Structure 1
Amino acid sequence: MKALAPGTVIFHRHRGYGVITAVNLLTGWIAARFGSESRTLDLNLSTDEVQFADGEAILFRRAPPDRMPHARLMAMVRELHRAGYQKLYLYAWPKPSGLHWRWHLFSGPRDWMQRSWREGWYGSGADYNVNPVMGWGDKPGASTHELIDALARFDPQGLAQALGRDEDHSAWFEQVCEALLPGYMYSLDMQRPDGGPLLDAPAVPVIPVRATLPPYSGPDIGWPPGWHGLWSKVHVLPARRPDFSGIPET
């Protein structure tokens, strides 16, 4: 769809040609002038059949976007795995508050705990609710292939690191996508019940991506390859290298 902003020339079948003066894409309402400099008319993009000046319809999505982007990300990673980019991994986990869910894509070595961070390859549901984009030049509601194209343009070097074979993980991911998409996501959250020790490989938590969906009732999801033994290990950040720059020489 073309850009929609104040100054855009539009056509309305009852009013003729006009100019937009204000746009609210959160609600789908615009204000426009039709021949009068002092009076504006409020129009709803969902019902008033507004068109661009060349006759192209202006379509406003009535249904809200998924409250979490994880299912869209899973579909994108699934297609990239099929195309040979199997060293691409999707990590999802909740914020401490439990109100929103984070996500992180990473490529290269499959190290879940010491994964590398890349700009635009991670995000939070709190940000997504306000601006439903992934952060690499994509548009709200972009399709799977549009997301892949935008990511390839945004960070071709990073995506090139995902080119290679990881058959165990890609097979696990394919089975997970088959069971969960399009309405559910997985969370790699190792929970401690009541502050106790980590459970021995419980089922992977599954969360619906829309509030209207019922709780997940399908088969249990196993943990991805590379997580064996992580429940019993102690997770600590790498020790910071000592800084001797401030010590005077003797």
Structure 2
Amino acid sequence: MKALAPGTVIFHRHRGYGVITSVNLLTGWIAARFGSEARTLDLNLSTDEVQFADGEAILFRRAPPDRMPHARLMAMVRALHQAGYERLYLYSWPKPSGLHWRWHLFTGPRDWMQRPWREGWYGSGADYNVNPVMGWGDTPGATTEELIHALARFDPQGLARALGRDEDHTAWFAGVCDALLPGYMYSLDMQRPAGGLPAQAPPVPVIAVRATLPAYAGPALSWPPGWAGLWSGVHVVPAPAIKVTGVAELR
């Protein structure tokens, strides 16, 4: 699929050749100039029969896009696991507002809390809604294989760190993908009651990636290997030092 962005030369059967000035991939509308620097024309990619300059049709998917990219990322990670890149992990968690979910791919040691960050390997569903790409040179709607090739070109050193065996996690992830894809994603967000720890680990939260899908009704998911014990302690904020006039500080 060719890039569709401001500056792209297009052809319209009634207006001739023009240049795109803005694109809204969420709605399928573009603005373009046709011979006038001061005036733009709004066009709908679904109905106005817009073409690239070489005559190739620009086809806009009428179906609403996934509101979050996690299911596509899960399919990519599973394919990489099958190719021997088993030390690749996908962490998902909600933003504070609860309206969108973040994602983070990381490699190397499986440490869910102290995860190494690499530019382009993380993102947010809020950003994805406006610009539906992962951030490593991929195109909107790229297939699983295309996502893998784009990531390998973008950061070959980072992907090489994922080579190796992690059989426990690979088996867990494959089972999760079988249960959830293509319409659902998991979130590694363990809610705890106020002031304490949960009596036992609840099922992994599952969220639909499209608003039109019903609530998940499949089997409960277990937490990934290495997760047990991460929440075994209660964090207590240290009490401030007590200052008494004329007396040494008590701690």
TM-score (structure 2 length as normaliser): 0.83
Offset at 1:144?
Answer: 1.0
Equivalent position SS for 1:102: strand
The 2-side partners of 1:33 and 1:131 are apart by: 22
Instruction: Note the 1:40-55 alignment, pairs <5 A.
Output: 42-55=42-55
The 2-side partners of 1:7 and 1:110 are apart by: 43
1:106 equivalent in structure 2: 106
1:244 equivalent in structure 2: none
Offset at 1:16?
Answer: 7.0
The 2-side partners of 1:156 and 1:76 are apart by: 16
The 2-side partners of 1:216 and 1:34 are apart by: 48
1:213 equivalent in structure 2: 213
The 1-side partners of 2:36 and 2:148 are apart by: 45
Counterpart contact for 2:185–2:208, Cα < 8 Å: yes
Structure 1 segments of 4+ aligned residues over 6 angstroms from their partners: 33-40
Counterpart contact for 1:138–1:146, Cα < 8 Å: yes
Offset at 1:194?
Answer: 4.2
Distance 1:36 1:207, change over 3 A: closer
Specify every segment of 5 or more residues in structure 1 that has no aligned partner in the other structure, as ranges.
237-250
Counterpart contact for 1:45–1:58, Cα < 8 Å: yes
The reply on whether 1:19 has 2:14 as its aligned counterpart is no
Counterpart contact for 1:6–1:19, Cα < 8 Å: no
Offset at 1:42?
Answer: 4.3
Distance 1:6 1:117, change over 3 A: closer
Counterpart contact for 2:10–2:53, Cα < 8 Å: yes
Counterpart contact for 1:203–1:222, Cα < 8 Å: yes
The reply on whether 1:160 has 2:168 as its aligned counterpart is no
Offset at 1:35?
Answer: 7.7
Specify every segment of 5 or more residues in structure 2 that has no aligned partner in the other structure, as ranges.
237-251
Offset at 1:76?
Answer: 0.6
TM-score (structure 1 length as normaliser): 0.84
The reply on whether 1:91 has 2:91 as its aligned counterpart is yes
The reply on whether 1:10 has 2:20 as its aligned counterpart is no
One-letter amino acid of the structure 1 residue matched with residue 210 of structure 2: R
The 2-side partners of 1:7 and 1:95 are apart by: 34
Alignment identity in percent?
79
Instruction: Report the RMSD for the aligned CA atoms in angstroms.
Output: 2.4
